């Protein structure tokens, strides 16, 4: 199964202090770009793969979503998610996405935010998701960008000329990466953009949009530290439809 | 118009000494991967955007292509291309791809190898190409990978730990880059993968394959210096079809 580091007490405590944990969607700078990829949710059945605290699930309902199913492997996160809503249109379930089962043709929208780079068997998961979607349904996802996940020792470098760079190695050597985000020993799966896209196309999705997220000038003005995110992309956003 | 550096005598002389200039397609390590993206060419009308010495045009004819039109801005390259064939099925024409005009619905396959990163108005060119293709036609292209074109000072770096990396900056700042490949002052256009794909999708192409080219184990065994190409991708390969 996927490493369940979010149930590690130290990791969970650290993650809980991130802006996106405290402020929800408003604390995630890529959210406006991700939201722009979503279809209208009115009357739609939505599944959120790796829902965490359930911010997206709770946001989707006032947008008109008929039902939202939030799935996550973390007991701690689901406990918090469940405590934040009494809406009968939102359901949470604890599952390992590596062995997810869903009824066929039962959702109109599948959504996943910053989770798929933890999943080893992405092909299996996406095959399940494709089958669980109705024809014409939408898939909207984000993952850590491969430039971020590739390096054997990820981090910024300042050259003797003062130039700030993100040194890349092993970009074309896909697979497991063990990094020190929040706690130590977080296991991620490094995949190229091509691998993400070809996997989806091969399963029967049609790619409709690919964003390598960048902060907007307004975001940088409001939060100047975001300027460094122009140097190398943090997030990969993909929109696709089920053929 | 696009910079026509291939007609600069010093650049042309330098380019003429590259393996891919001397050996043709066999000297281009990404060629087997690019070839694998091509549809069967038998009976097809093919246009090659930026044909250079015409290696691909001449290769396409024995594959059964009915007609091949090779387009390039370089007078010197077209002169050499023309001298290498007397096949009436191969035609070369000198054009600036920035202001290309082609008759509508007149080609089955559009091909372009390592040229589009020189083109400023890619949207205009691809709109023209889309119109010139018949419905269901194929587009197969390669370009320098954005990780290669992004840095303000492209080059390898060896860290104090001996780790060889490719330092990336300005990845999300698209536009003109002036680099010192072969001669100095080669002007390229840096675009993200997302920009290439969204441009094609927006015009009406369906993406069928995206490859961030990597050398195969056999290629590395035959030419060990290719191993460094696993550290960061050199080439982006895209296959699409006209909707």
pLDDT digits over A5-15, tens only?
Answer: 888 888 888 88
pLDDT in tens, A190-223: 999 999 999 999 999 999 999 999 999 999 999 9
Q: Which of A163-172, A177-186, B12-21 has the lowest mean pLDDT?
A: A177-186
Q: Contact A171/B147, CB-based, under 8 Å?
A: yes
pLDDT in tens, B169-180: 999 999 999 988
pLDDT at B140: 98
Distances (CA, A) of A91 to A70, A98, A134, A221: 6, 20, 20, 38
Give me Rg for the CA atoms of chain A: 18
Q: Parallel, antiparallel, or unpaired for β B157-158 and B205-212? A: unpaired
| Candidates A153, A172, A231; nearest CB to B233 | A172
Which residues contact residue A113 at a Cβ distance below 8 angstroms, ignoring those fewer than 6 apart? A28, A34, A48, A50, A52, A56, A141, A142
pLDDT at B1: 62
Q: Where are the domains of chain B?
A: 5-14+30-242
- In whole angstroms, give the CA distance from residue B115 to residue A156: 32
Q: Enter the ipTM.
A: 0.95
pLDDT at B179: 85
pLDDT at A197: 98
Distance from CA of B213 to the nearest CA of A (A): 8
- In whole angstroms, give the CA distance from residue B228 to residue B156: 10
| Candidates A167, A173, A207; nearest CB to B167 | A167
Share of chain A above pLDDT 70, in %: 100
Q: Does B164 touch chain A (CB under 8 A)?
A: yes
pLDDT at B161: 83
Question: What CATH code is assigned to A5-19+46-242?
Answer: 3.40.50.150
pLDDT in tens, A111-126: 999 999 999 999 999 9
Residue with the larger pLDDT of the pair A90 and B2: A90
Q: Which of A9-23, A190-204, B66-80, B190-204 has the lowest mean pLDDT?
A: A9-23
pLDDT in tens, A138-150: 999 999 999 999 9
pTM: 0.96
Q: Locate tokens 């087997």: which residue?
A: B32
**Total beta-carbon pairs less than 8 A apart between chain A and chain B:** 116
Q: Does A163 touch chain B (CB under 8 A)?
A: yes
Q: Contact A163/B152, CB-based, under 8 Å?
A: yes
Q: Name A141's bridge partners.
A: A112, A238
- In whole angstroms, give the CA distance from residue B52 to residue B75: 9
The CATH number for B5-14+30-242, chosen from 3.40.50.150, 3.40.50.2000, 3.40.109.10, 3.30.2270.10, is 3.40.50.150
CA of residue B157 relative to chain centroid, distance: 26
Which residues contact residue A131 at a Cβ distance below 8 angstroms, ignoring those fewer than 6 apart? A102, A104, A105
- In whole angstroms, give the CA distance from residue B62 to residue B57: 10
Question: Tokens for B46?
Answer: 């093919």
Q: Contact A211/B193, CB-based, under 8 Å?
A: no
pLDDT in tens, B120-168: 999 999 999 999 999 999 999 999 999 999 999 999 999 888 899 999 9
């Amino acid at each position: 199964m996927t490493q369940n580091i979010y149930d590690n007490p130290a990791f969970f405590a650290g993650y809980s202090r991130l802006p996106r944990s405290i402020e929800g969607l408003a604390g995630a700078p890529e959210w406006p770009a991700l939201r722009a990829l979503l279809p209208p949710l009115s009357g739609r059945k939505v599944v959120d793969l790796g829902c965490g605290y359930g911010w997206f699930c709770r946001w989707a309902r006032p947008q008109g979503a008929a039902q939202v199913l939030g799935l996550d492997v973390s007991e701690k996160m689901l406990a918090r998610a469940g405590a934040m809503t009494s809406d009968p249109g939102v359901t949470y379930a604890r599952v390992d996405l590596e062995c997810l089962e869903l009824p066929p043709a039962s959702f109109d929208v599948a959504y996943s935010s910053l989770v798929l780079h933890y999943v080893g068997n992405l092909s299996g998961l996406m095959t399940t998701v494709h089958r669980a979607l109705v024809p014409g349904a939408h898939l909207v996802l984000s993952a850590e960008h491969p430039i971020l996940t590739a390096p054997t020792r990820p981090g910024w470098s300042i050259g003797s000329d003062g130039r700030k760079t993100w040194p890349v190695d092993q970009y074309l050597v896909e697979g497991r990466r063990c990094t020190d985000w929040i706690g130590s020993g977080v296991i991620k799966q490094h995949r190229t953009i091509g691998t993400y896209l070809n996997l989806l196309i091969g399963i029967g999705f049609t790619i409709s949009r690919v964003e390598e997220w960048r902060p907007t000038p307004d975001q940088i003005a409001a939060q100047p530290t975001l300027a460094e995110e122009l140097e190398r992309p943090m997030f990969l956003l993909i929109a696709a439809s089920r053929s």
